Amino acid sequence: MVVCEVCHREEAKYKCPKCNARYCSLQCFISPRHKENDQKILQRKNEGKNTDEHQETNDNDSLDIPKKDELVGNLLKNEKFAAYMKEPVVQFYILTLNEILHNISLTNEYNREGRLEVANKKLANLRSKGLEYNELFEEFCECALDLLGS
């Protein structure tokens, strides 16, 4: 049995989507004690992200890895990739994946990791041997991966 992290008396039945704290009731969820805990955890996460970003920037500088904007720019300069991007089917599936990643009501996943997992499953279904396999989208993915790999 997992005990409520707010009152420490009852069995925890729920999990906070922001801080992942386990709680037993609405009263515990809206309590000042949980809000305080929520803010502390988010601050720690943000401090960790800032440290990771700083470290990642330093690592990228030393390894000479291109930034995200450069990668996208290089992809769009490629004629074959640009032609795939003009295809309505490819645009549709990219927009679908984007909606899955950003629209909580579409997936009922309140954390980013959950939506990312749903998007990954959708992508796997669109690619070879998937239930929704699309040859054009597979070619687009292969082209993108080849360009990013080189």
Q: What does DSSP assign to residue 22?
A: E
3-state SS, 80-100, equals HHHHHHCCHHHHHHHHHHHHH
pTM: 0.53
Number of domains in the chain: 2
The residue ranges of the chain whose pLDDT is under 70 are 38, 41-42, 44-46, 48-68, 150
What was the pLDDT predicted at 87?
92
State whether 48 and 61 are in the same domain.
yes
What was the pLDDT predicted at 52?
45
SS3 68: helix
Quote the domain boundaries for residue 15. 1-65
What was the pLDDT predicted at 74?
80
What was the pLDDT predicted at 88?
92
What was the pLDDT predicted at 60?
43
State whether 3 and 33 are in the same domain.
yes
Q: What is the CATH number of the domain that holds 105?
A: 1.20.1440.260
CA–CA separation, 41 vs 88, rounded Å? 43
What was the pLDDT predicted at 49?
55
What was the pLDDT predicted at 150?
57
